[in-house]
Structure 1
Amino acid sequence: MSMISTQPQHGGIALIVEDEVTNRMILKALLKKRGYHVIEAENGAEAIQLFQQQSPNIIFMDVMMPVMDGYEATTEIKRLSGDEFIPIIFLTAMSDEKALARCVEVGGDDFLSKPYSFTVLSAKVKAMERIRILHQDTRMLYSRMQRDEEIAEQVFSGAVIAGNVGLDRIHSLLKPASVFSGDLMLTAYAPSQDMHVLLGDFTGHGLAAALGALPTSEVFRSMTGKGFAPQQILSAINNKLYNLLPTGMFLATQFVKVDHQLDHISIINCGMPDCFLVENESMHIKQQIVSKSLPLGIAPDIDFKDDFHHLRVKQGDRVILATDGVTEARNSKGELFGQERFIQAIIKSDSNTYILDKLARDLEAFCQDAPQDDDISVVEVPLFPDLLPGRESPSPHIVTGGDMPHKLFSHEHPDCIEFQLIFYGSQLRQADPVPILINYIQETAGLHEHRRPLFTILTELYINALDHGVLQMDSKLKQGEEGFTNYFQQREQRLEALTEGKIRIALRIHRNTDGGYIVITMEDSGHGFDYVSLSQEVANETIYSGRGILLVKSLVKQLQFFAPGNKAEAIYVWEDNL
């Protein structure tokens, strides 16, 4: 049987659970002095019913009672209360240490010994009230923090994640350890139609670790979109983070550039676990790329150029990037998933499915219900043509082949912009004029939709002038399994030793109401090359020499070389109105 007090409420509702009437009366009188409404239960079953009906603020629980004892009732009440703090003080005259320990194990918060003392009771109630207020404040602050994190996560997703491209082709396994992930995946297309993929891991995880993601993504996308090289992008991100992040925070990263011709990749590992190049049919690991460079944000002005690996690839090969959350994932015994299990998941995968499908199953089977200590991120980049944007975006109306359209030259005084850049000797080591030229063309002539073809034309002509003109590189070096690696190594060595040479770039832009044309002149100080027999050499697709020149020819109205082959002139024509 139970009864409810009718005294005015000051301290809230107190529930007494006690089968002895005398003990209930004494405790009730003491609690009424504290200003509590008092409700009473004779056993644990009644206590649970009253708890659900009346929502008391504090509970005084006897241990030994009929029907249901205090242990069982406390366990159920704590389950029903969830995150809310409802203090339960056990009423006991026991001195058995095991019994007292059991009271704590089932959720008891304190003890009140019989016979009851008003002074002791008041002290314990005050302590519980203070704890309850602190718990409420903590819950409120935690709720506000969660709300702030949810809002920040929406901003983060919109500003960082939403800008990624190719996500229907790139497979990823991203499992944050908290609302925010300290891991970061960024993808973007360059004007050359190369794809850039960055996987990063900030120190720690959660909101603090994600703060560097916004400036990182801003620099990555902006510079990729303008056509800067991967080493320049990493240098800019590094300097940005070095000036922004507090001491002790940094970004370990893996960066891969997939060349638009799908014949090679450029990849770097900066303080991350090994990344892998996997052969498609056999699932053989063709290359295991270890970290050679410092993570970003530790030191200023890091030169990443020499730490890139330039690897020959075949269509269908796959690139696997991963953070240390994979190899350091733990099971319930505290064992690490480790590098060997990671490699076995790769080589034992079915070539007709994603590698990450098997890896995800292996991780789940290994970790099971063990808590996740760190963010887990893996990215699989399959090297197929549809990974790249060339077939997706509509091309502007470019006029190629045939006679030059007369209407473009019908004005007696057409609008014309003309300028040139000249680079000498050691300036060519660091010079990357193409992004500068493209941005200037866009700003002055407004040819935004022609960005990609113009970037390709300028890039191929400049690389031809620098590599084969000034540096005297032979494209046949690219042949063989290690061909691209050897070619780029020799290229960097010759650039480093370069003290003489010259490249002149001249542009003349004509425009009228119907379209326009750009005359691009690229001249180097080299000895020239046999441009007459060029088209015959590249008939075989396995030959790498001259492929860039053929690509330029497919994009321009006219391309011609002048003897001895160190000066090229390309005319790019477009029509605005068909």
Structure 2
Amino acid sequence: MKADAPNLKLHGTALVADDELSNRVILNALLKKLGYQVIQAVDGADAVEKFRQHSIDIVLMDVMMPVMDGYAATEIIKSETADKFIPVLFLTAMTDDKALARCIEVGGDDFLTKPYNHTVLSAKIQSMERIQNLHQDIRMLYNRMQMDEEIAEQVFSGAVLAGNVVLDQISHLHKPASIFSGDIMLTAYSPSHDLHVLLGDFTGHGLAAALGALPTSEVFRSMTAKGFSPPQILQGINSKLHKMLPTGMFLAAQFVKISASLDYITVFNCGMPDLFVIDGNTRRIKNRLESRSMPLGIIPDSNFQEDAQHIRVGLGDRVLLTTDGVSEARDPTGEYFGSERLITAIEQSGEQAFILDNVSSALDRFCSDAPQDDDITMVELPLLPELLPSWRVDQLLAEQTHVDPNSLLDHDSDSVEFHITLRGMQLRKADPVPLLINYIQEMVGIRTHNQVLFTILTELFINALDHGVLGLDSSLKEGPDGFTRYFEERDRMLSQLNEGSVHIGLRIHPQANGGWIVIQIEDSGPGFDFANATSAQGEKPLFSGRGIQLLSSLCESFSYLEPGNRAEAIYAWTNE
């Protein structure tokens, strides 16, 4: 009885290109034994045409053929299969090194010398099949990785970037070195209507570098919304990243607080390139602020308070933030763009609306077609009213509904009291205002009045700390360098503070249609002669400046008590 022929596994379709019929017949027989369907071509041009007409899995290509040789045909075939591995085995009787090297140079994957040996041919094809299968696995994994990155990028954009504010007034350039960027830009308004901006650069780039962006944005936005100060926000981000980031990974960052009055900015530079403050008219650099702090996530406890840089600014000035991908960008010869070229591009921006446009053009010209090594991010902040919320003091005052404070105090009502005292070193790092706001919300939930209450409590606490405990004189703020001088003296005195205290008491009277809060504050300072401290122009207190005037307008009543180190404010609200 005759045995059945073995079932061969169908491996695909092979293209045999040879101008000699005998060679094609031999290869056809050998390939069919290996489980291939065979398509034959008589020259290089015919091979290219057949390749385009059929789905080919492997090519056996003779070198010397009429019309088009095997070298030219292979170059065309390989150029049309860049996203798929189609092995090409050259068939040649030549044995010199140059000819064989030429086979590899044009894209060939191996070669087979004539006359053909079935065992050698089978081994070479099996080797190509293993490479082909490996290539398919890699391609499948790469496609899956790309899909995962695209999904993650959508989540990243929705969770990190979508929450940013005032992007229509900020000029920013973001060029990631891969799908994912290790650079991050965050913007948010504080309850006092200051603008907080953070530009960060995680170690490396790609998905791994971007993993820290989600917790960073969460801490930044939540703490900014609650009224925490920039040093506290940076400490919160630092603590979070130190717990979650692997060793060797960290976040370099620039943090800018733009005051709601647009007359000064506070800058923290944590391991980033220099930050520039630029005159809005001359385009000359007014301040170049270098790094004073370590990047975030390296050590668990960092004190950012002493690293603050306070700069007086003018209307129309610009603040330029950059990651190190700008200065470390390279041209085709490998030379770095550097800080000097950056400065030149800044000061030669001329009449352009945004300085960043000129810097970006200079960077593009310099880099030309050189590969990008790192993420590139730049942010330009124009110090103009449009950068800040439309909220204004006069608008708030116009919406304020006042009642007779005596009628409030005489009214019998259930009340809740809360007292907090900060002493000595606690005054250096603790900010009680977010805690007090949170407590008020827990008690009565008047979220629509958060901004007003935050303003009142902040003004009271800052006045008690700065002028009561530290004894700072507001006249220090006068002059071009006044803010810098004032805050440097404030930071110096706070760093040495070991005694003194500020006590805050809240008495909340909620009612069905509204209620009122009595805020009392007392500092350990000697007080002042508040009864006689008025100016000749009117009732503006000489000791208070704009802050206490604002308090008097926002509250139902505001008064100082003997001996001048105590104050009481009453704020009332109605339920809409």
Tell me if the contact between 2:8 and 2:34 (Cα under 8 Å) persists in the aligned partners.
no
Structure 1 position 211, deviation (Å): 1.0
Equivalent position amino acid for 1:65 in 2 = M
1:456 aligns with 2:451: no
Aligned-partner Cα distance in 1 for 2:565–2:360: 54
The superposition leaves residues 82-107 of structure 1 with CA deviations (integer Å, 9 ceiling, x where unpaired) of: 31111111111223433333322221
1:223 aligns with: 223
Alignment of 1:25-424 (within 5 A): 25-391=25-391, 399-400=400-401, 403-404=404-405, 413-424=412-423
- Per the TM alignment, residue 493 of structure 1 is displaced from its structure 2 partner at its CA by 2.1
How far 1:248 sits from its partner (Å)?
Answer: 0.7
Q: Does 351-360 or 306-315 show the bigger shift?
A: 351-360
CA distance in 2, matches of 1:178, 1:346: 27
What secondary structure is seen at the aligned counterpart in 2 of 1:248? coil
Q: Do the aligned partners of 1:425 and 1:501 also contact (CA within 8 Å) in 2?
A: yes
For 1:23 and 1:203, how far apart are their aligned partners in 2? 58
CA distance in 1, matches of 2:351, 2:406: 51
Q: Residue type of the partner of 1:568?
A: A
Distance 1:22 1:390, change over 3 A: same
* CA gap 1:545/1:98 in 2 versus in 1, 3 angstroms: farther
- Identify the range of structure 1 (383-392 vs 434-443) with the bigger mean alpha-carbon deviation: 383-392
Task: Give the equivalent residue in structure 2 for 1:496.
Answer: 495
Which whole-Å CA distance do the structure 2 matches of 1:351 and 1:402 have between them?
A: 52
When the two structures are aligned, how many residues end up with a matched partner?
A: 568
Structure 1 538/248 Cα, relative in aligned 2: closer, same or farther at 3 Å?
Answer: farther
Q: Which amino acid aligns with 2:312?
A: R
Contact 1:276–1:286 (CA<8 Å) still a contact in 2?
yes
**Unmatched 5+ stretches in structure 1:** 1-6
In the superposition, the TM-score normalised over structure 1's length comes to 0.93
Q: Deviations over 1:321-351 (max 9, x none)?
A: 1111001111211111111111111111135
CA contact (8 A) 1:17 1:42 kept: yes
1:499-510 map, 5 Å: 499-510=498-509
**Is the counterpart of residue 467 in structure 1 residue 474 in structure 2?**
no
For residues 267-299 of structure 1, the C-alpha deviation after alignment (integer angstroms, 9 at most, x for no partner) is 011111111111100111111111121111111
Question: 2: distance between equivalents of 1:177 and 1:482?
Answer: 40
The alpha-carbon deviation at position 170 of structure 1 amounts to 1.6
State the distance in 2 between where 1:124 and 1:31 align. Answer: 12
**1:300 shift after superposition:** 1.6
Do 1:479 and 1:544's aligned partners in 2 also have CA atoms closer than 8 Å?
Answer: no
3-state secondary structure, aligned to 1:240: helix
Q: Which one-letter code corresponds to 2:198 in the other structure?
A: L
CA shift in 2, pair 1:56/1:485, >3 Å: same
Residue 443 of structure 1 is matched in structure 2 by 442
Query: Residue deviations 1:380-420, cap 9 Å, x none?
Result: 111112211243999699535574596x679x543422222
Instruction: Supply the distance in 2 between the matched residues of 1:376 and 1:356 (Cα, whole angstroms).
Output: 13
SS for the counterpart of 2:334 is coil
CA contact (8 A) 1:538 1:546 kept: no
Residue 4 (structure 1) aligns with = none
Mapped to 1, the partners of 2:45 and 2:552 lie a distance apart of: 88
Residue equivalent to 2:3: none
Q: What's the CA shift for 1:426? A: 2.9
Aligned 8 A contact 2:402 2:572 in 1: no
Deviation at 1:141, TM superposition (A): 0.3
Asked if 2 retains the 8 angstrom alpha-carbon contact of 1:16 and 1:38, the reply is: yes
Q: Quick one: which amino acid aligns to residue 561 of structure 1? A: Y
Distance 1:320 1:532, change over 3 A: farther
Q: Aligned AA for 2:477?
A: K
- Taking structure 2 as the reference length, what is the TM-score of the superposition? 0.94
Q: Partner amino acid for 2:567?
A: A
Unmatched 5+ stretches in structure 2: 1-6
Query: Quick check: 1:191–1:451 contact (8 Å CA) kept in 2?
Result: yes
Task: Quote the Cα distance in structure 2 between the aligned partners of 1:402 and 1:575.
Answer: 10
Going from structure 1 to structure 2, the CA distance change for 1:544 and 1:253 (only over 3 Å counts) comes to farther
CA pair 22-295 structure 1, distance change in 2 beyond 3 A? same
Question: What is the CA–CA distance in structure 1 between the aligned matches of 2:536 and 2:193, rounded to whole Å?
Answer: 25
Partner of 1:3: none
CA positional deviation for 1:126: 0.4
**Cα distance, 1:453 vs structure 2:** 1.1
- Please report how far the alpha carbon of residue 530 of structure 1 lies from its aligned counterpart in structure 2 after TM superposition: 5.0
Residue identity matched to 1:564? P
Structure 2 CA distance for partners of 1:251 and 1:534, relative to 1, 3 Å: farther
* Gap change, CA 1:488 and 1:544, over 3 Å in 2: farther
Displacement of 1:59 after TM fit? 0.3
Instruction: Confirm or deny: 8 A CA contact 1:506 1:520 kept in the other structure.
Output: yes
Distance verdict in 2 for CA 1:403–1:535, change over 3 Å: farther
- Give the conservation status (yes or no) of the 8 Å contact 1:281–1:351: no
Partner amino acid, structure 2, of 1:309: Q
Q: Rate the CA distance shift 1:264–1:532 in 2: closer, same or farther, 3 A.
A: farther
SS of residue matched to 1:391: coil
Give 1:459 shift.
0.4
- 2:168 is paired with a residue whose SS is coil
Distance (Å, rounded) in 2 between the aligned partners of 1:500 and 1:93: 95
